[in-house]
Each structure stands twice: as structure tokens, then as C-alpha cells.
Amino acid sequence: MRERIGKLLADGLKTQTEPFPETAREFSRLLDELYRLPPDDLRGKLVLSGFTDTPYGPERMRCQECMYYLVHRKWCDLPELAVPVEADWWCRLWRI
Amino acid sequence: MANLLWLQGGACSGNTMSFLNAEEPSACDLVNDFGINVLWHPSLGVELGENLRKLLRDLVSGAIPLDIFVFEGTVVNAPGGTGEWNRFAGRPMKDWVADLCKAAGFVVAVGDCATWGGIPATAPNPSDSQGLQFLKREHGGFLGKDFTSKAGLPVINVPGCPAHPDWITQIVVAVATGRTADITLDEFQRPKTFFQSFTQTGCTRNMHFAYKVSATEFGQRKGCLFYDLGCRGPMTHSPCNRILWNRQSSKTRAGMPCLGCTEPEFPFFDLAPGTVFKTQTVMGIPKDMPNGVDKKGYIALTAAAKNAAPRWAEEDIFVV
Ligand code: SF4
Ligand code: SF4
Ligand code: SF4
């Protein structure tokens, strides 16, 4: 699965990296949208959450430092995402 | 023998319920072991009507000495400063409170309503409620900031929504047995013995806090409740994880975030749907940091903590 996601990203899947949810309220709005997707809609999830396969922005934000990233499992523990990820990836649900 | 009177203003009775549930010491121990004479209490008092009025008048006049006056609930000033919305024994409760506080050796405010106004005093505060000596963070309240009781102490504030039963009974015993010299108060007049440490002190999720592993739902048996669920444990002064509730639990142990109920801001969050029990963030970073941590430090700390996180931090360690 991680490889499949990696391939989709490497092949240039266009995802919505902007706007970054600035406040908790915008963040939960995005979660609600994610929650409404069919559970097996992987592409939908990737697009809506704005996945990239590189660190993002001037602060080089990446999964490794994100609250939801489980280091040992290389797993995104955000219930609305719940996907395997790489430490150097990022998505706009990033939170520290 | 110390005479104690307990009255209730704008309140839900939560602190009375809490008090009756006390075990160390219990409400009965107060009477049997510590010689406290409970003159009247809303759930325990037997006097009614004219008998009660006479008791109150005698306490105000000094015919019966009032050693400890415990007040639960807000002082209701509405409408228009008359206090008529909260009448008791023939007159506005606020008038009784003013007179009794002057007559009392010690005044103890129990629960958030009596200490800082709590929920009733939250904007728009329709009952024009005040705490005895604070209104939220502002010193003054109903009695004014210079008030001291006959024994020379300001109001002793035992906050909480409700206050833990043993915080109440232990303070009452300390006062009744003349150990007030042992009670030092913090800037909000809370006894330091209870309110110097944080809710986080003794929290079983401390390791998860350190390694930044988040609980994402209520009741989850791993993870810290700070990062997602708005736990106020790192900024709230309370001993909830040292003096457990029902002797065995606390909010955080049950997987429920601390709401910060012992602080004057309670309930302070933006109560719009979707924002309750959510850590408020700005660009992915928590708006309120743990005490003494700044934004830059927080980011650096997180990176270090994540790198050092042991494998077990990802497992469910709350084995029942
Ligand atoms: S929420 Fe996004 S940035 Fe955070 S771990 Fe998951 S995928 Fe990575
Ligand atoms: S933030 Fe809350 S859950 Fe986390 S360690 Fe502190 S008190 Fe416990
Ligand atoms: S855990 Fe927090 S909200 Fe709960 S009683 Fe203690 S201080 Fe209040």
C-alpha cells in the first residue's frame, strides 16, 4: 500500500495542498469532508488531504514530526486517513 | 467545637453532592471526629421557616458564633443589583451573604461558581453573578478585594466544577482544627497544598505526552489527550491525578481530557460546534502551549521526542 501511494505521488497525482487549514475549525471542516469519502477511496483521500512525497514549505514540514505519525509503524494514525506513509511525506492535515 | 454554616447561591448542588461523597475525611467524620457542628446545610439542615430565619439572624448578630461560613454557588445580583432572583429565608441571598461574611471567622468558597463565578457568570451572565472575591480572573467579586474575615484571611477558594470531595473536607478540617497557619494560598486564594501542581502531575499518559503520541478519540487507552482532544492538564492547577476521584480514577485516566475546571477561565473555550474537546491550533501548532514552552522550543522538542519515541509508546499499555 505504501508503495502504491508512493507510485501515485511519484507519477504526479495532483493533490490539493492548499489552503493549509489555519485554525482548528478549518481543520475539522477538512476532516468532515474526508470522513464523507467512501472508505476505500484512496485517491480521494490523497487528493483531499493534499499529500506530497516531499517535505513541504519553508519550514520543511513532514510526516516525521507530525502528531499523527507513528514512527515505528510508519503509519498515519489520524483516523480519517489511517494509511501507511513515509517519514518524508507531508499532507495538509499536518499538526505538531 | 466549630460552628459551620453552608449556604447555596446560584448553583446546581454539584459541590453538595461532592461533599456528601467525601471519604477522607467523610462528612460524618467532620462531626464525629473533628467536632464540627453543622448548624445548617441545604441537604442536611433540619430547621425550616421561622426557625431557620432566627438561626441566621442569630449568626449575623453574633448571638451564635459563626466559625466557618461555606458558600456554594454564585452571588446573584440580578435584577438590577437587587438580588431578588435568588431569595432565601425572606430576603435576597446576597444580603445574607454580605452579613454572614462579616460575622464569620473564616469564609470558604466551594466550587467554581462561588470562587470565580463559574458557568453562571459566563457572558452574557444574565443573573449578574459574581464569585465571592473574584469574577473570573478579576480580583474583587462580591465582597471586594480587600475583604478579610474575622480571622484575618481572605476568602479561601476551593475551586472545581465540582470541587473534589476531599479538597472540601480537608480544608474545612484544617480551618476547624486551627491549622490555618498551614494553609498558604496562591494568587487566586487557592490552598497551595492542592493547587500548586498540575493535573498532569501523576497522569498515566505522561509518557505519551513526552513522546508526542496522541489519543485521537475519547476513552482510547493510549496516547496523550493534549494534542487532539484539548486536554488542559499541562496548564491547570489541580491534584486530580494525585488525589484520585472515587479513590481510583481521574478524567485523564478514563480517557477524557481535563477541562481546566480549577482555573478562573473555566468554561473558556470557543463553544461553537466542532471546537469543543479540540485542541485549538494556529497553522498546525497548538494555540496554548504547556507552561513555560514557546513555539520554537515546541517544534524542536517535538522533533527530538518523535525521534526518541520507544516502540511501546505506540501500543495500548492500559491493560485492565
Ligand atoms: S496527518 Fe498528514 S502529515 Fe501527518 S502523518 Fe498523516 S499523512 Fe503525514
Ligand atoms: S496533556 Fe492531559 S492526557 Fe496528556 S499527559 Fe497531560 S494531563 Fe495527561
Ligand atoms: S481533571 Fe481537570 S476538569 Fe477534571 S476535575 Fe480535574 S481539573 Fe477539573
Pocket flag, ligand 3, residue B231 (CB < 6 Å) = no
pLDDT of residue B23: 93
Cell numbers describing residue B40 = 445548617
pTM: 0.80
Can you tell me which residue has the cell 469574577? B135
Residue B9's nearest CA partner among B59, B61, B75 is B75
Q: pLDDT band for position B198 (50/70/90)?
A: very high
Answer left, alpha or beta for residue B12, where phi above 0 means left and psi between -120 and 50 means alpha: alpha
For residue B252, give the ligand 3 atom closest to its CA: 1
pLDDT at residue B22 tops 90: yes
* CA B207 from centroid of its chain's CA atoms: 27
C-alpha B302/C-alpha B229 separation (Å) is 18
CA of A51 to the centre of ligand 1 (A): 8
- Select from A22, A24, A71 the Cβ nearest to the Cβ of B309: A71
CA of B263, nearest ligand number: 3
- Written as tens digits, the pLDDT of chain A (96 aa) is 888 878 877 888 788 888 988 887 788 889 889 888 888 888 899 998 999 998 888 778 899 989 899 999 899 988 888 899 999 999 999 988
CA Rg value for chain A: 12
Report the candidate in B164, B73, B85 with the shortest Cα–Cα distance to residue B112: B73
B317 pLDDT band, cuts 50/70/90, is: low
Give me the interface pTM, i.e. the ipTM.
Answer: 0.73
The whole-angstrom separation of Cα B182 and Cα B200 is 24
Whether pLDDT at B148 is above 70: yes
Q: Provide the pLDDT for residue B13.
A: 97
Structure confidence by residue, pLDDT tens digits, B127-140: 999 999 999 999 99
pLDDT, mean of residues B161-188: 94
A23–B282 C-beta distance less than 8 A: yes
Span of A13-27, B27-41, B148-162, B194-208 with lowest mean pLDDT:
A13-27
In chain B, CATH 4.10.480.10 sits at: 205-314
Which pLDDT score is estimated for B269?
58
Contact list in A for residue B306 (CB cut-off 8 A) is 64-65, 69, 71
Higher pLDDT, A3 or B190: B190
Nearest residue to B166 via CA among B131, B192, B194, B189? B194
Residues of chain B with CATH 3.40.50.700: 2-194
Grid cell listed for A92: 495538509
Report how far residue A66's alpha carbon sits from residue B225's, in angstroms, rounded to the nearest whole number.
Answer: 15
- Whether the per-residue pLDDT at B217 is higher than 80: the answer is yes
Q: So what CATH class is B2-194?
A: alpha beta
Provide the residue type at B51 as one letter: N
Mutant choice from A59, A76, A96 vs B, greatest count of B C-beta within 10 A:
A96
Which pLDDT value is given to residue B97? 98
Tell which residue, A61, A71, A72, A70, has the closest CA to residue A94. A61
Helix and strand totals (H; E) in chain B? 9, 13
pLDDT at B270: 63
Q: Which of A61, A73, A78 sits opposite B314 (nearest CB)?
A: A73
Buried b (16+ CB within 10 A) or exposed e, B112-149: bbbbbbbbbbbeebebbbbbbbbbbeeeebbbeeebeb
What confidence category does residue B252 fall into, taking pLDDT thresholds of 50, 70 and 90? Answer: very high
Q: Which three cell numbers stand for residue B1?
A: 467545637
Provide the Cα torsion B99, B100, B101, B106; round to 10°: 160
| Secondary structure class of B152 (helix, strand, coil) | coil
In this structure, which topology does domain B205-314 adopt according to CATH?
Answer: Cytochrome-c3 Hydrogenase; Chain A, domain 2 (4.10.480)
